[in-house]
Amino acid sequence: MINISKPLIGGEEIDEVEKVLSSGKIAQGPVVAEFEKDFAEFCGVKYAIAVNSGTAALHCALYACGIKKGDEVVTTPFTFVATANAILMQGARPVFVDVNEIDFNIDADKIEEKLTGDTKAILPVDLYGQIYNVDGIGEIAHRKNLRIVEDACQSHGAEYKGKRAGIFGSAGCFSFYATKNMTTGEGGMVVTDDENIADSVKRFRHHGQSEKTHYEYYDLGFNYRMTDIEAAMGIEQLKKLKGFNEIRQKNARALSEGLAGIKGIKVPSVKDGFSHVFHQYTIRVTDQFKIKRDELSQYLTGRGIGNAVFYPKPLHLHPHFMRLGYKDGDFPISEKISKEVLSLPVNPSVSEQDIKYIVDTIKGI
């Protein structure tokens, strides 16, 4: 089976985790601090605060940006559920805006019509590993005095004009879940240049307690701490991230060259000025193709080619969000592409021969 995702853990991770295990200090400690320092440096920001998931990172960032009950946060319906759930966790309302057909990210041109007096922030997602429309959304946020919280859970190391994902708003949020471009099993990170946001995230991950004054609780907080065990993995994975991403990009180029020109298959586009890190390599299977998307998916599975649909249903069509008043037809592009997208194996364990086999199998149809 050619896997759609596969964590690549080497002797380096195992050795460093073993050191932590034998040290007797396994909860949040010096190794988390070292990982934070490395990650901040990698992103080119002043502060990185480790937490125990990407979801926790989003929750912390929204809290630290002052998002609270009654506020509205603009986001995309074509994303993983955690993006919008984090908004609900703060008692705020997710206001969905449809995506564009180029990178499947939130469409800057459709945001302004959705803004109200209660809108406090925009939460764009770097879907599949390509950064959102930084200039378009940045301009709106600046003019309307809105925060931007970037969901960079799929875009570790992606770039726009030479700057890395996560740094384009007030705060950026990463996940180190097992399937992501780098992993700690479960884990997350908030990055920011704003000292107040950094302090606020630190308090929120630890029951509202400041690191400066122990056992003084300033506000509600959670237990969102990362362990030194996870951080030890993270430090080694971060060293390998650039190499991992380069293989993803090479695999993506080979897939796109191989699949170009097949009627009914649209390969992903990389925007000018952006470097895409292909967390997912996602094609669109349109009506023009010989068989339906779901038939292609089964056909590939039957031939040992892992594949997956991210995401089969936009968020606004799940009962959880329909209860907020959303309905079928609200976001036609998200609804259309959710029926067409199919992600193919692109991760660093996928070889040149694997790519050739995937291309030949699809061409064969």
Ligand X SMILES: *Cc1c(COP(=O)(O)O)cnc(C)c1O
Separation of alpha carbons 175 and 39, rounded Å: 12
Distance CA 208, CA 200 (A): 8
Half-sphere exposure of 354 (CA within 13 A, CB side): 20
Judged by CB, which is closer to ligand X: 133, or 154? 154
Q: In this chain, which of 103, 151, 228, 354 binds ligand X, going by CB under 6 A?
A: 151
The CB-of-187 to ligand X minimum distance in angstroms stands at 7
Pick the closer one to ligand X by CB: 129 or 345: 129
Q: By C-beta, is 56 or 283 nearer to ligand X?
A: 56
Query: What are the backbone dihedrals phi and psi of residue 269, each rounded to the nearest 5 degrees, phi first?
Result: -105, 145
From candidates 83, 90, 130, 192, binder to ligand X by CB under 6 A: 83
Does 7 help bind ligand X (rule: CB under 6 A)? no
188 touches ligand X by CB under 6 A: yes
The answer to whether 169 contacts ligand X (rule: CB under 6 A) is no
Phi-psi region of 166 (alpha: psi -120 to 50; beta: other; left: phi over 0): left
Which residues, in sequence order, are bridge partners of residue 282?
A: 343
82 binds ligand X (CB under 6 A): yes
Tell me which residue of 26, 27, 121, 130 sits closest to 71, measured CA to CA.
121
Residue from 65, 108, 125, 182 touching ligand X (CB under 6 A): that is 125
Q: Is 119 in the site for ligand X (CB under 6 A)?
A: no
> Which residue lies nearer to ligand X by CB, 71 or 150?
150
Q: Which of 5, 28, 76, 79 binds ligand X (CB under 6 A)?
A: 79
Tell me whether residue 171 or residue 262 sits nearer to ligand X (CB atom). Answer: 171
- Nearest-approach distance from CB 205 to ligand X, in angstroms: 14
Q: Which of 154, 200, 297, 334 binds ligand X (CB under 6 A)?
A: 154
Contacting range for ligand X; rule: CB under 6 A; set: 92-100, 150-158, 163-171, 343-351: 150-158
DSSP secondary structure code for residue 77 in this structure: S
- Tell which residue, 181, 161, 133, has the closest CA to residue 281: 181
Segment interacting with ligand X (CB under 6 A) among 149-157, 255-263, 270-278, 321-329:
149-157
Which range in 51-59, 100-108, 263-271, 300-308 contacts ligand X by CB under 6 A? 51-59
In contact, 3 and 349? CB cutoff 8 Å: yes
Nearest distance from residue 81's CB to ligand X, in Å? 8
Contacts of 235 by beta carbon, 8 Å cutoff, 6+ apart: 16, 31, 34, 35, 38
Closest to 287 in 3D by CA, of 333, 252, 335, 336: 336
Q: What is the DSSP letter of 226?
A: P
For residue 217, what are the β-bridge partners? 209
**Rounded-to-integer distance, Cα 161 and Cα 122, Å:** 21
Radius of gyration of the chain (CA): 20
Residues near ligand X (CB under 6 A): 53-55, 79-80, 82-83, 125, 151, 153-154, 175, 177, 188
